[in-house]
């Protein structure tokens, strides 16, 4: 069956192509009677709107955009974004929407992608991740007028709708649970220091240590397995090694197990480990990894629902999704000897 064209609708309706365009797009320029005649003919012919034409005319594209300015090698092995995107897709599929996913080498390239998508009307709204302090994407998207849902703390997302997890409360909970086990020297292998959620966790970690009179240090890394291994080796062989290491993602925590095995340091008898996010990776290691647990797939689904919400005119507000909770498994235990 050939596609029904505006020319065919115009011929059968006895009107111009311009009149057909006005009628089909709900624009003024034709009488109510003529508009109804055109719509009746279009229905009888089985006409459906051309998606590309809708995009060019300024209508919805049925597509949301996500740009990830991360090393593709890290993203290929890090569970967080695989679970997050899967959660987004569960909602988009029900609405026949697509997700345009693009990699970028850095933040400047990410912002240039937004400008290109805006000028070409490629997407209806954006998912913005990896928020930074004084994030330059906030004024850019404000100036462009692009709808977006920011994934991160409300303090980082300006006036945009955001979905967030309470990293500060979760970090406090992590330190409390480890202190109850008897740990007095803690270390944290954190993510990239320019990221807002990393900065929030850093501050919460130091605040909790001071509150309970504990010792601790932070090493920043790039979330990769190799960075996790290297940081673990440095901490474990230092002059005053910690009795527990907290990691900002699961991948670095898993990699630390191999580093400690090479150093003949037993987990958890001689050193405890705590991961973040709690992907399935945490349950296939030996010992299984304790983690600050939250449902990343459900987080992605929540973000997708908010995208449709802003298209429907919902006001821009902050949506607290969850607070990661301490889940004890085999990688945490009381230290061999209290300080």
Q: What is the CATH number of domain 6-48?
A: 1.10.260.40
> Using CA atoms, how far apart are residues 56 and 51, in angstroms rounded to an integer?
9
Domain ranges of the chain: 6-48, 63-158+305-315, 167-295
Contact 86, 297 (CB under 8 A): yes
The confidence score (pLDDT) of residue 280 equals 93
Query: What's the confidence (pLDDT) of residue 106?
Result: 93
Q: Collapsing DSSP states into helix, strand and coil, what is residue 227?
A: helix
Residues 24, 26, 30, CA angle at the centre, nearest 5°? 85
Rounded Cα–Cα distance for residues 116 and 123 (Å): 10
How confident is the model at residue 210, as a pLDDT?
97
Q: What is the pLDDT of residue 1?
A: 36
Identify the pLDDT of residue 55: 44
Q: Which CATH number fits domain 63-158+305-315: 3.40.50.2300, 3.10.129.10, 3.20.20.370, 3.30.70.1170?
A: 3.40.50.2300
DSSP code at position 256: H
Say yes or no: do domains 6-48 and 167-295 share a fold. no
Q: Which residue, among 188, 286, 292, has the nearest Cα to 245 in the 3D structure?
A: 188
**Distance (Å, whole) CA 196 – CA 175:** 20
Q: What is the DSSP letter of 183?
A: -
Give pLDDT tens digits for 144-163: 999 999 999 999 999 999 99
DSSP-H helix ranges across the chain? 6-13, 17-24, 32-45, 51-56, 72-77, 79-94, 107-120, 137-144, 167-180, 196-212, 225-236, 250-262, 296-311
Given the candidates 3.90.550.10, 3.40.50.2300, 3.40.50.300, 3.30.465.10, the CATH classification of the domain at 167-295 is 3.40.50.2300
Q: What is the per-residue pLDDT for 8? A: 86
Mean pLDDT of successive 10-residue stretches along the chain, which has 339 residues: 72 88 75 88 76 52 92 76 95 92 94 92 94 96 95 96 97 98 97 95 98 96 94 96 97 96 97 96 96 97 95 91 97 81
Q: What's the confidence (pLDDT) of residue 95?
A: 86
The pLDDT assigned to 49 comes to 59
For the chain, what percent of residues have pLDDT higher than 90? 75
Structure tokens at 133: 């302090």
């Amino acid at each position: 069956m050939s596609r029904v064209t505006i020319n065919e609708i115009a011929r059968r309706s006895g009107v111009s192509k311009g009149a057909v365009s006005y009628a089909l797009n709900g624009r003024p320029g034709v009488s109510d009677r003529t508009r109804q005649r055109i719509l009746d003919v279009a229905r009888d012919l089985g006409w459906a709107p051309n998606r590309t034409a809708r995009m060019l005319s300024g209508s919805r594209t049925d597509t949301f955009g996500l740009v990830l300015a991360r090393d593709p090698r890290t993203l290929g092995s890090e569970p967080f974004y695989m679970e997050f995107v899967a959660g987004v897709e569960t909602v988009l599929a029900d609405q026949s929407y697509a997700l345009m996913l693009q990699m970028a080498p850095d933040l400047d390239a990410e912002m240039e992608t937004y400008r290109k998508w805006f000028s070409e009307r490629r997407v209806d709204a954006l998912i913005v991740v990896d928020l930074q302090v004084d994030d330059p994407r906030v004024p850019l998207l404000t100036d462009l007028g692009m709808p977006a849902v920011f994934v991160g703390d409300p303090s980082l997302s300006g006036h945009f709708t955001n979905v967030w997890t309470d990293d500060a409360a979760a970090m406090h909970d992590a330190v409390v649970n480890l202190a109850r086990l008897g740990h007095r020297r803690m270390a944290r292998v954190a993510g990239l220091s320019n990221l807002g959620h990393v900065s929030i966790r850093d501050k919460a970690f130091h605040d909790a240590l001071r509150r309970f009179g504990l010792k601790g240090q932070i090493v920043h890394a790039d979330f990769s397995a190799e960075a996790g291994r290297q940081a673990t080796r440095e901490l474990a062989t230092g002059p005053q090694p910690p009795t527990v290491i907290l990691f900002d993602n699961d991948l670095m925590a898993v990699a630390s197990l191999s580093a400690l095995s090479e150093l003949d340091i037993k987990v958890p008898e001689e050193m405890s480990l705590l991961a973040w996010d709690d992907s399935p990776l945490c349950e296939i290691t030996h010992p299984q990894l304790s983690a600050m647990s939250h449902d990343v797939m459900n987080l992605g689904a929540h973000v997708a629902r908010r995208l449709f919400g802003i298209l429907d005119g919902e006001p821009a507000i902050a949506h607290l999704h969850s607070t990661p909770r301490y889940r004890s498994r085999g990688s945490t235990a009381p230290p061999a000897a209290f300080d």
